[in-house]
């Protein structure tokens, strides 16, 4: 997006436990395993998470095969490391893998001195906290399965569900967690976007998931690979880095799920693109058969599991938020249809780069207006990029996408409809980075009228009041319930042809409600758990699409928990 048969007795016991948990309503609540420790653990009590031996043992407790076979129902493939299948350098990590091996896990812990106490607990019963986002059935089941395996080797754990915005806050802004499930959809199609983002340290702009992990040699290798034009040499660097990473894990590479998409048959125009998931402007509703009544023909309704967190493109960095940002704002360049590689014009009509790769020149589209009627010019491009770098994404950390190759002042206005990017060194993935939501163009006058730009500081107004040149405007946002978009009458792309004027995104954590809404036509799109695919795929009026995906699912390990 981001990869022996199972022992039958173990699998049956684990799955039976999971089924009981689901039907008794305990998934989504904190799971407490009896333990001698009842008070909140101190930082010193959690020091064991900093030990690579503990993290390796946890990696041997994860059931990779059952995850794909029983939880994703086969709609996923193994993920040997951070680079997904289909990307260059994927093979450089393949022979280095963990597998479920509880004996090996116990051997590692015993050798490291983490033996069981008289009550049968390791770490004196201090629980390992496992978090996942509420409503995600696959991650709920993975959490329960891991909890069962940890218990078998004397490790107490607690499984906790959290809302998507709360989960992101916990991950990005605190170290108050031990294990946390999260997925990754690519910002740009390059292996750097995975291995650097996950495995480089925060000191150089990596460690997106705030694990606290750092290795100086890995930082050196991944930085050099970022600017290495020779793919063979890049892969060699990744391989050396991977040999270090695998022996000191801060992530468990769960699987690489397929893209499974459900929609009503009256919806047309959807194409899966991992870089820009939802292009509502391209969709329309029309009955395929005479006599079929289309519900809400001028409105797309989507049922999803997680609310947006932050709608300021300079500081939003999650799928739910980017869904809104990419429909309200535009970027200089974009990708279209299902092609995530070919760079197409957006607010820039054409561009060129100097022979040394240090100066990029963009000619801008004329006659474009923001949804408030203000004109779009080169001043807005300069302001937008410098704003991202100055704010430095205090909440999400997304500024790294631009700060890899830009500094404040590197974006230069040539005239009202021409800008240049002056790079310190050639950067081969400049254009793919400019496709991402963080490179969205804001109205400089609008932002200045509502808080302006302050270094390392969020703009609270822009988080909830986006305003761009894109096809839609934010009409309303009821937190944890729904987001409504309405068409932007000033959109430069125009409204001739087939488009919907309204978009309603409903946040519904309960899977059965999403399934019912899709089946009865209240939802045009709905997020369906893999466990329910077989029940939904042949429903009357419903269409299912499958596609290979570069998205990955991981379990992140906090190496410096509090």
Pairing status of strand 251-257 against strand 552-557: antiparallel
Q: Which two tokens stand for residue 106?
A: 């116990």
Residue 25 clears pLDDT 90, i.e. is over it: no
Q: Give the lowest-confidence range in 221-230, 255-264, 409-418.
A: 221-230
Q: How far is CA 445 from CA 27, 374, 503, in A?
A: 47, 8, 27
Class of domain 8-29+49-258: alpha beta
Class of domain 266-297+306-507: alpha beta
Rounded Cα distance, 177 and 13, in Å: 27
3-state secondary structure of 538: coil
Q: How far is CA 335 from CA 84, 168, 252, 276, 341, in A?
A: 20, 27, 31, 8, 7
Q: How far is CA 453 from CA 10, 131, 273, in A?
A: 56, 34, 32
Residue 235 clears pLDDT 90, i.e. is over it: yes
> Mean pLDDT across the chain, nearest whole number?
90
Strand order in the sheet with 411-415: 348-353, 359-364, 418-422, 411-415
| Portion of the chain with pLDDT greater than 90, in percent | 82
Rounded Cα distance, 11 and 438, in Å: 43
- The average pLDDT across 477-490 equals 97
Q: Is 73 exposed, middle or buried (0-12, 13-18, 19+ CB in 10 A)?
A: middle
Angle at 358 between CA 352 and CA 364, to 5 degrees: 35
Residue 15 clears pLDDT 80, i.e. is over it: no
**Span(s) in the chain for CATH 3.40.190.10:** 266-297+306-507
> What pLDDT score does 32 carry?
33
Buried b (16+ CB within 10 A) or exposed e, 240-262: bbbeebbeebbbbbbbbbbbbbb
- Dihedral sign for Cα atoms in the order 317, 323, 329, 334: positive
Rounded Cα distance, 307 and 460, in Å: 17
β partners of residue 284:
268
Is the pTM higher than 0.75? The answer reads yes
pLDDT in tens, 373-409: 999 999 999 999 999 999 999 888 899 999 999 999 9
> What pLDDT score does 44 carry?
66
**Span(s) in the chain for CATH 3.10.105.10:** 8-29+49-258
Please, which pLDDT band fits residue 40 given cuts at 50, 70 and 90? Answer: very low
């Amino acid at each position: 997006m981001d990869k022996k048969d199972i022992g039958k007795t173990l699998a049956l016991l684990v799955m039976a436990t999971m089924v009981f948990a689901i039907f008794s309503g305990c998934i989504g609540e904190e799971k407490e395993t009896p333990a001698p420790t009842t008070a909140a653990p101190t930082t010193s009590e959690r020091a064991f998470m900093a030990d690579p031996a503990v993290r390796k043992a946890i990696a041997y407790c994860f059931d990779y095969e059952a995850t794909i076979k029983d939880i994703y129902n086969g709609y996923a493939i193994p993920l040997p490391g951070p680079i997904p299948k289909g990307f260059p350098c994927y093979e450089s990590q393949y022979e280095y893998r963990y597998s479920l091996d509880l004996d090996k896990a116990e051997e590692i812990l015993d050798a490291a001195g983490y033996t069981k106490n008289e009550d049968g607990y390791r770490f004196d019963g201090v629980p390992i906290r496992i978090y996942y986002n509420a409503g995600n059935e696959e991650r709920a089941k993975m959490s329960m399965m891991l909890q069962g395996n940890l218990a078998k080797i004397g490790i107490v754990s607690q499984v906790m569900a959290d809302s998507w915005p709360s989960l992101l806050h916990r991950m990005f802004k605190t170290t108050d967690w031990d294990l946390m499930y999260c997925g990754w959809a690519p910002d740009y199609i390059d292996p750097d976007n995975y291995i650097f983002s996950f495995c480089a340290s925060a000191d150089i702009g990596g460690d997106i998931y705030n694990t606290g992990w750092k290795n100086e040699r890995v930082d050196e290798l991944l930085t050099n690979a970022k600017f290495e034009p020779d793919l063979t040499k890049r892969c060699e660097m990744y391989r050396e880095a991977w040999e270090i990473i695998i022996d000191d894990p801060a992530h468990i590479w769960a699987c690489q799920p397929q893209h499974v998409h459900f929609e009503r048959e009256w919806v047309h125009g959807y194409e899966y693109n991992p870089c820009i998931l939802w292009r509502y402007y391209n969709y329309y509703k029309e009955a395929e058969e005479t006599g079929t009544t289309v519900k809400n023909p001028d409105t797309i309704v989507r049922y999803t599991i997680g609310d947006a967190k932050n709608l300021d493109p300079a500081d939003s960095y999650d799928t739910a938020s980017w869904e809104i940002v990419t429909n309200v704002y535009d970027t200089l360049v974009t990708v279209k249809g299902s092609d995530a590689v070919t760079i197409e014009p957006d607010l820039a009509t054409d561009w060129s780069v100097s022979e040394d790769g240090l100066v990029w020149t963009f000619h801008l589209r004329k006659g474009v207006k923001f949804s408030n009627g203000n004109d779009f010019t080169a001043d807005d491009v300069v302001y937008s990029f410098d704003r991202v770098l100055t704010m430095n994404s205090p909440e999400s950390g997304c500024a790294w996408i631009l700060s890899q190759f830009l500094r404040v002042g590197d974006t230069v206005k040539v005239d009202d409809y021409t800008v240049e990017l002056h790079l310190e060194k050639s950067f081969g993935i400049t254009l793919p980075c400019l496709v991402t939501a963080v490179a969205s163009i804001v109205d400089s006058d609008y932002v200045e009228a509502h808080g302006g730009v302050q270094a390392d500081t969020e703009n609270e107004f822009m988080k909830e009041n986006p305003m761009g040149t894109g096809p839609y405007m934010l009409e309303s946002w009821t937190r944890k319930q729904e987001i409504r978009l309405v068409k932007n009458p000033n959109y430069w792309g125009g409204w001739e042809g087939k488009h919907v004027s309204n978009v309603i995104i409903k946040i519904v954590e309960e899977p059965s409600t999403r399934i019912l809404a899709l089946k009865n036509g209240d939802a045009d799109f709905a997020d369906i758990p893999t466990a329910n695919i077989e029940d939904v795929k042949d429903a009357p009026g419903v269409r299912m699409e499958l596609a290979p995906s570069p998205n990955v699912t991981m379990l992140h390990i906090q190496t410096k928990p509090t």
